[in-house]
Amino acid sequence: MVLRQGLTLAGVGLAVGFLGSLLLNRLLTSLLFEVRPADLASSAAVVLLLASAGAAASYIPARHAARVDPGIALRDE
């Protein structure tokens, strides 16, 4: 559940960022060197890199949450 929530947030952020980069295409043209703003290979590489970072960042809390005994967690609250 923790991993799914983290990956959902990362996926929404990636989708919004990708759409934003497509909408700001003209501004990005002046900032990039020898790369088209709508270059699919570069965009896919960035999406994969950020998705793997989001998955790694979500995995650590998910692993910690899976190790906690539910009885102990309920007693602490």
Q: Residue-wise pLDDT tens for the chain (77 aa)? A: 888 888 899 889 989 988 887 788 777 777 777 767 667 787 788 889 999 998 898 898 888 888 888 888 788 76
C-alpha to C-alpha distance for 5 and 55, rounded to whole angstroms: 10
**pTM higher than the cut 0.85:** no
Number of neighbours of residue 74 by Cβ within 10 angstroms:
8
* Count: domains in the chain: 1
Range of the domain at 22: 2-76
DSSP 8-state code for residue 77: -
Look up residue 55 and give its amino acid: A
